[in-house]
Amino acid sequence: MTPFESSRQQFPRGFTIIGTGRLGSSLALRMHNKGYQIRSLYNRSLESCERIASVTETEIFGTFPARPADLGDVVFLCLPDDQIGPFAKKMGVVKEGPAWVHTSGATPADVLLPLSPDGSGIASMHPVQTFTIRNRESAFNQCFVTLQGDPGLCVPLEKVIQAIGGRPLMVDSRQKTAIHLAAVYVCNYMAPLFAASQDLLDDNGLEVRARDLFGPMVRQAMDGLLSHSPAEVLTGPVLRGDTGTIDRHLQVLADSPKWEHLYRVLGKATLELAQSLENRNHAADDEMMKRFSGT
Ligand SMILES: NC(=O)c1ccc[n+]([C@@H]2O[C@H](COP(=O)([O-])OP(=O)(O)OC[C@H]3O[C@@H](n4cnc5c(N)ncnc54)[C@H](OP(=O)(O)O)[C@@H]3O)[C@@H](O)[C@H]2O)c1
């Protein structure tokens, strides 16, 4: 039996999605296109939910579930993180109700305890992916999706994840937070680094966008980082021990002090990474460390 067939058998009444924003709409479309029944859809504002419902052929939709019978076997709560707990409290325990699953990366499954005080039938299911616009169903391809919560629910949800093209990963609540935190470094924190880059160009009279100027180089660097370890792809003045270049950078940063601290912190981390490499000349390391430490 395929993952799709076995999960469809396990959840014959289909699925409900509450919150048809970036992730919820993408999940609804993906599940529908893979053959699952989207039994009902709900969203704070009716318009976006109505639009998705017409595509997923979902007849039951609205702003809040009116009757337990309208819910599928599994309800995905694709709500802003801070709305999940209040929603669970508002909904309360539904007798002989569905399983409840939220999609937040940073919130443990037990935020759903108001829906099931003994913890049965609740879980979190977090796609480790960024959904920047609504209806981005292809983003599930090969995407890791963490599962945490009631094992009796997580095991069949693994099949659903496989059937929509994702890669399930069982985690406990601490590991879930660690994954979310680790993702912040490689994804979220890229944005301020690009902002720093643009400010430095602007502050020095360069009328060019950082993304245009550095695009080809960033793509090369990303290709390297996605196929090798971080230390293996290291280049630049720290690896070479070019203390004079670091001094010149710091002189320019004297006029853009907002980004100086970040430069020193990341310089120190880069030096520590370089020091893990064998066959490297360490002669300039102490001098570089002094500059990054500001001593
Ligand atoms: N986007 C991502 O990249 C991503 C990736 C992984 C996990 N997640 C998680 O997925 C969840 C949703 O994120 P998102 O980015 O999809 O958020 P979003 O685009 O802001 O969508 C949230 C949706 O929830 C609706 N909503 C808010 N409060 C509601 C309520 N009380 N009842 C019913 N609907 C309500 C909003 O309705 P309105 O249309 O009225 O605003 C909106 O459509 C979050 O927990 C997030 O951490 C997101």
Query: Tell me: the pLDDT tens digits for 69-79?
Result: 999 999 999 99
Say whether both 44 and 87 belong to one domain: yes
Residue 82 pLDDT > 80: yes
The pLDDT, as a whole number, for residue 279 is 86
* Pair (55, 151) in one structural domain: yes
Question: Considering the domain boundaries, does residue 163 fall inside one?
Answer: yes
Are 55 and 121 part of one and the same domain? yes
- Strand segments (E) across the chain: 15-18, 38-42, 60-62, 74-77, 99-102, 122-127, 144-149, 167-170
- Axis crossing angle, helix 3-10 with helix 151-163, rounded to the nearest 10: 130
Please tell me the distance between residue 127's alpha carbon and the centre of ligand 1 in angstroms.
13
CA 44–ligand 1 middle distance (angstroms):
10
Residue 17 forms part of a structural domain: yes
The confidence score (pLDDT) of residue 149 equals 98
Ligand 1 atom 6 nearest Cα: 127
181 falls within a domain: no
Question: Is the Cβ–Cβ distance between 111 and 85 less than 8 Å?
Answer: yes
pTM attached to this predicted model? 0.88
d(CA 286, CA 273): 14
Confidence of residue 294 (pLDDT cuts 50, 70, 90): confident
The three-class DSSP label of residue 168 is strand
Determine if ligand 1 sits within 6 Å of the CB of residue 19.
yes
pLDDT given for residue 134 in this prediction: 77
- 165 and 199 within one domain: no
Q: How many angstroms separate the alpha carbon of residue 83 from the centre of ligand 1? A: 9
Within-domain flag for 57: yes
Cβ atoms 84, 102 nearer than 8 A: yes
Closest CA to ligand 1's atom 30 = 44
Ligand 1 pocket member 23 (CB < 6 A) = yes
Tell me, what's the pLDDT at 238? 96
Q: Is 39 in the pocket of ligand 1 (CB under 6 A)?
A: no
Task: Indicate which residue's Cα is closest to atom 9 of ligand 1.
Answer: 104
Q: Residue 133's pLDDT is what?
A: 80
Whether 18 is in the pocket of ligand 1, judged by its Cβ within 6 Å, is: yes
pLDDT of 142 strictly over 80:
yes
Instruction: Give the count of domains, the chain.
Output: 2
Q: For position 141, what pLDDT does the model report?
A: 95
Question: At which residue do the structure tokens 């694709």 appear?
Answer: 78
Q: Using the mean position of ligand 1's atoms as its centre, give its distance from the Cα of residue 202 in Å.
A: 35
Using one digit for the tens of pLDDT, what is the confidence trace for 159-190? 999 999 999 999 999 999 999 999 999 999 99
Q: 83-97: per-residue pLDDT in tens?
A: 999 999 999 999 889
What average pLDDT does the structure give for the chain? 96
- Domain that residue 287 falls in: 186-293
- Both 146 and 216 in a single domain? no
pLDDT value at residue 280: 87
Confirm whether 81 is domain-assigned.
Answer: yes
Kindly state whether residues 192 and 241 are assigned to the same domain. yes
- Both 119 and 167 in one domain: the answer is yes
Asked if residue 58 is part of any domain, the answer here is yes
pLDDT, tens only, 16-70: 999 999 999 999 999 999 999 999 999 999 998 999 999 999 999 999 999 999 9
Question: Do 192 and 172 have their domain in common?
Answer: no
**87 Cβ below 6 A of ligand 1:** yes
Span 210-214, average pLDDT: 98
Residues 124 and 235 in one domain: no
Report residue 295's pLDDT band, with 50, 70 and 90 as the boundaries. confident
Residue 229 is assigned to a structural domain of this protein: yes
Residue 131 in tokens: 């959904």
Centre a 10 Å sphere on the Cβ of residue 135 and count the other Cβ atoms it contains: 18
Question: Considering only CA atoms, which residue is closest to atom 46 of ligand 1?
Answer: 104
- Whether the CB of 20 sits within 6 Å of ligand 1: yes
**Torsions phi, psi of 87, nearest 5?**
-65, -45
Name which of 167, 154, 173, 57 is nearest 104 in CA terms: 173
- Has residue 151 been placed in a domain? yes
Residues 10 and 154 in one domain: yes
Q: What is the pLDDT of residue 132?
A: 81
Please report the atom of ligand 1 found closest to the CA of residue 102: 45
Looking up residue 256, the CATH number of its domain turns out to be 1.10.1040
- Confirm or reject: Cβ of 21 under 6 Å from ligand 1: yes
Q: Rounded to whole angstroms, what are the CA distances from 257 to 54, 249, 264, 277?
A: 53, 12, 11, 31
Asked if 253 and 144 sit in the same domain, the reply is: no
User: Which ligand 1 atom minimizes the distance to the CA of 79?
Assistant: 24
Whether the pLDDT of residue 242 is over 90: the answer is yes
Q: Is residue 136 very low, low, confident or very high in pLDDT (cuts 50, 70, 90)?
A: confident
Picking from 150, 176, 202, the residue at the C-terminal end of a domain is 176
Q: For atom 2 of ligand 1, which residue has the closest CA?
A: 131
User: What is the structure's pLDDT at 73?
Assistant: 98
pLDDT above 90 as % of the chain: 93
CB of 40 closer than 6 A to ligand 1? Answer: no
Residues 116 and 229 reside in one and the same domain: no
Q: Is the pLDDT of residue 135 over 80?
A: no
State the Cα–Cα distance between residues 203 and 57, nearest whole angstrom.
Answer: 53
